[in-house]
Amino acid sequence: MNTVDVSKLREIFGEENIKTDPSDLYAFGSDSSVHHAMPWAVVRPDSTEQVQKLMTYANEALIPVIPRGGGSGMCGQTVPVKGGIVLDMKHMNRILEINLPDVYCRVEPGVVDDDLNLALKPHGMFYPPPRFLAHRHHRRGDSQQRFGGPVREIRCHKRRGFGHESGAAHR
C-alpha cells in the first residue's frame, strides 16, 4: 500500500525534485531487465543531508528505498518490487577529488563513467568501463553490482605505453 507522505518529501527535496505522477513513475519501475513494478514516488537528492533525512523518514515509516544510478543493471535490482521511493542519484554528480600520488578518486554516486574519464584524461588516467555503456553507468551502481569489466573497484588506472597497466590494486 502506498503510504508515502508527499508533504514530507516536499519539505526535504522541494517540489521540483519529486515525481509522483504515474506517467513519470512508470519509467522508474524498470532497469535493463524484463521486470517492472511501480514505485510510489521518485526523489532526486542533491546532498548527503537530504539522503540522510529521507532515510530517517523512510525507516520510521517502514518504506522501501531503492537507490538508482543509470538503471542499466540487468537483474532487476532497481525494480521496486514492494513499491517504495526510488532515490534517483543523477544530481549528485560531483567529482570531489582526484588523488594522483595515491591513484584514487572520490566521487559522488551519480557521476557517470564518461564524465569521470573526461576529468581523468588530462592526467593520463582512465577508468575502464565497457564503452557502449560509459555514458550511462554511474559509479555507485557499478560498485554496488560489483561490476566486473576489466576492474572491480573505483580506482583510476594509468596508461603506460601501448598496454593498459593497472596503477592500483585489484580487489
Ligand X SMILES: Cc1cc2nc3c(=O)[nH]c(=O)nc-3n(C[C@H](O)[C@H](O)[C@H](O)COP(=O)(O)OP(=O)(O)OC[C@H]3O[C@@H](n4cnc5c(N)ncnc54)[C@H](O)[C@@H]3O)c2cc1C
Least CB distance from residue 26 to ligand X, whole Å?
16
Contact between residue 152 and residue 171 where contact means Cβ atoms under 8 Å apart: yes
Cell of 24: 513519470
Nearer to ligand X, 123 or 135 (CB): 135
CB under 6 A: which stretch of 1-9, 21-29, 42-50, 129-137 binds ligand X?
A: 129-137
**CA-CA-CA-CA torsion for 147, 150, 155, 156, nearest 10 degrees?**
-140
Least CB distance from residue 81 to ligand X, whole Å?
12
Position with the least CB separation from ligand X: 141
Contact between residue 78 and residue 87 where contact means Cβ atoms under 8 Å apart: no
- From start to end of 39-126, where are the E strands? 41-43, 65-68, 85-88, 95-99, 104-107, 125-126
Cell of 29: 519501475
Least CB distance from residue 106 to ligand X, whole Å?
14
Cell of 4: 508515502
User: Running DSSP on this structure, what letter comes out for residue 78?
Assistant: T
Q: Does 145 bind ligand X (CB under 6 A)?
A: yes
Residues of this chain, 87-126, that bind ligand X according to CB under 6 A:
89, 109
- Build a one-symbol-per-residue string for 51-90: x at contacts with ligand X by CB under 6 A, - elsewhere: ---------------xxxxxxxxx--xx----------x-
Residues that bind ligand X (rule: CB under 6 A) add up to a total of: 27
Instruction: Give the interface with ligand X as residue ranges (CB under 6 A).
Output: 31-32, 66-74, 77-78, 89, 109, 130, 133, 137-138, 140-142, 144-145, 147-149
